[in-house]
Structure 1
């Protein structure tokens, strides 16, 4: 059985299991909702993200800004689908075990199942980069930014690849976009400063 066919069968099986476990009449789901669940339902994921990004933009304390950035990453990680979330866990495990082709097959299926799930594209972009597939990585980063232009992780990845390719002006623009979203990130500030000095030196 091919790896692709195996994953399709596995996904369909998981979908059926989760569909059964999430039936409205299931007594396990009829329990009192936790305060955390009630709070989460007050706002939509987009509203929560918008609030976090507004907070990130104005926060000048590096440590506090990092905490906000971590909350944004948690929002991105949740696809809203139990099946997709499970596949992402498997992909991460395969990457940790250095089984890159397996992880790539799983992430391909994630993107088929949830084409607007930004972290599926971002994780595959990172994997392509680790595998030396730089053109494919950049293509996936562009998809990430088409879905979520504020994805500072994707912008950092883009800037790093542009710098490695000697495209310093484009890399500088990517870091500027990053800092417009996440202004207190020290490493990004340093990268932008180094590129600015390099470009200034090349013009004299």
Structure 2
């Protein structure tokens, strides 16, 4: 990560942007999506509810397939053309080309502004480029559209770590693990932070 980008991110934190995002997430990300009407809950469905329930009681082997099913459901925009844009963006990320991924994600957002995965893809690409402020903005939109997005929460935790905010990182990581208990990288991050801070008061 470039030094200038880190300074910009720290300035955003000082100005309250990250703090505001954390407060908004803490207030609303744990909302029970079952109580929201479909028009306000584009990421919710009976199938997803069932998958998330299965995730809580499955073993690690079964959880891998369930998690893939959840990602597959999240990746459905309702439009074949939009799904293709998402696939192209994901392929660009897999090829190590985040800039092209951003281009595809931005085009997707222009045409489908309520599609959470478009913002999540762009947030991931921005993070890979060290653009933490831009990544945070897209994570915020992802979680507004899909509060159960454990991938976006894990990304938010990683950014809080980069910004030396271990208390916020821990809380977000732990929330991600509540939603999906089968995230070894997140569990390792929690253990790493706990070990690092030891008995220090955050």
TM-score (norm 1): 0.71
In structure 2, relative to structure 1, the CA distance for the partners of 1:93 and 1:187 (3 Å cut) is: closer
The corresponding residue for 2:102 is: 104
Aligned counterpart, 2:65: 67
Contact 1:104–1:127 at 8 Å: present in 2 too?
yes
Q: Partner of 1:201: helix, strand, or coil?
A: coil
Q: How many residues matched?
A: 160
**Distance (Å, rounded) in 1 between the aligned partners of 2:94 and 2:182:** 30
Q: Does structure 2 conserve the Cα–Cα contact (< 8 Å) formed by 1:145 and 1:154?
A: yes
Aligned mates of 1:146, 1:189 — CA distance in 2: 24
Please report how far the alpha carbon of residue 99 of structure 1 lies from its aligned counterpart in structure 2 after TM superposition.
4.4
Q: CA deviation at 1:203?
A: 3.4
String of CA shifts for 1:139-171, please: whole Å, max 9, x gaps: 111111111111111111111111121100000
Q: Distance in 2 between matches of 1:70 and 1:106?
A: 22
Q: TM-score, normalised by structure 2?
A: 0.72
CA deviation string 1:66-107 (max 9, x = no partner): 211111011111211011011122323444455443332221
Q: Distance in 1 between matches of 2:97 and 2:161?
A: 28
Equivalent residue number for residue 36 of structure 2: none
**1:179 to 1:131, Cα distance in 2 relative to 1, 3 A:** same
Aligned in 2, Cα 1:143/1:95: closer, same or farther, shift over 3 Å?
same
Residue of structure 1 aligned with 2:119, choices 121, 143, 149: 121
User: Secondary structure in 1 aligned to 2:182?
Assistant: coil
2:150–2:180 Cα contact (<8 Å) kept: yes
Which runs of 5 or more structure 1 residues have no equivalent in the other structure?
1-43
**Root-mean-square deviation over aligned CA pairs:** 2.1
Q: For 1:66 and 1:113, locate their aligned partners in 2 and report how far apart those are by CA, in whole Å.
A: 31
In 2: Cα distance, 1:202 partner to 1:77 partner: 41
Structure 2 residue aligned with 1:200: 198
Aligned to 2:144: 146
Corresponding residue number in structure 1 for 2:56: 57
Structure ranking higher on relative contact order (CA contacts 8 Å, 6+ apart)? 2
